[in-house]
Amino acid sequence: MQSTDTDIAATIAGRPGVQRVPSPKLTLFIARAFLTPAECTELVALIDAGRRPSTVADYNGDNAFRTSETCDLDGANPAVAAVEARIAAFTGLDPKHGEPLQGQRYAIGQEFKAHTDYFEPDGPDFARFCSVAGNRSWTVMVYLNETEAGGATRFKAIDKIVQPETGKLLAWNNRRPDLTPNPSTIHHGMKVRAGTKYVITKWFRERPWGW
Ligand X SMILES: O=C(O)CCC(=O)C(=O)O
> Which member of 153, 166, 174, 182 binds ligand X (CB under 6 A)?
153
Indicate the residue among 17 and 159 with the shorter CB distance to Fe ion.
159
Site string for ligand X, 16-45 (x = CB under 6 A): ------------------------------
Indicate the residue among 159 and 178 with the shorter CB distance to ligand X.
159
Rounded distance between C-alpha atoms, residue 40 and residue 18, angstroms: 19
> Which member of 110, 201, 202, 205 binds ligand X (CB under 6 A)?
201
Rounded distance between C-alpha atoms, residue 141 and residue 106, angstroms: 15
Evaluate whether 200 touches 102 at the Cβ level (below 8 Å). Answer: yes
C-beta of 172: minimal distance to ligand X in Å? 10
The CA-to-CA distance between both ends of the chain, in Å, stands at: 21
C-beta of 14: minimal distance to ligand X in Å? 25
Evaluate whether 185 touches 116 at the Cβ level (below 8 Å). Answer: yes
104 sits near ligand X (criterion: CB under 6 A): yes
C-beta of 95: minimal distance to ligand X in Å? 19
Give one word for 94, left, alpha or beta, with left for phi > 0 and alpha for psi -120 to 50. Answer: beta
Evaluate whether 187 touches 129 at the Cβ level (below 8 Å). Answer: no
Evaluate whether 173 touches 5 at the Cβ level (below 8 Å). Answer: yes
Site string for ligand X, 178-197 (x = CB under 6 A): ---------x-x--------
Indicate the residue among 39 and 117 with the shorter CB distance to Fe ion.
117
Q: Contacts for 64-67 with beta carbons within 8 Å, 24 or more apart?
A: 64/113, 65/112, 65/113, 65/115, 66/111, 66/112, 66/113, 66/115, 67/106, 67/109, 67/110, 67/111, 67/112
Indicate the residue among 10 and 161 with the shorter CB distance to ligand X.
161
Residues 96-155 that bind Fe ion (CB under 5 A): 117
- Contact residues toward Fe ion (CB under 5 A) are 117
- Contact residues toward ligand X (CB under 6 A) are 104, 112, 117, 153, 187, 189, 199, 201
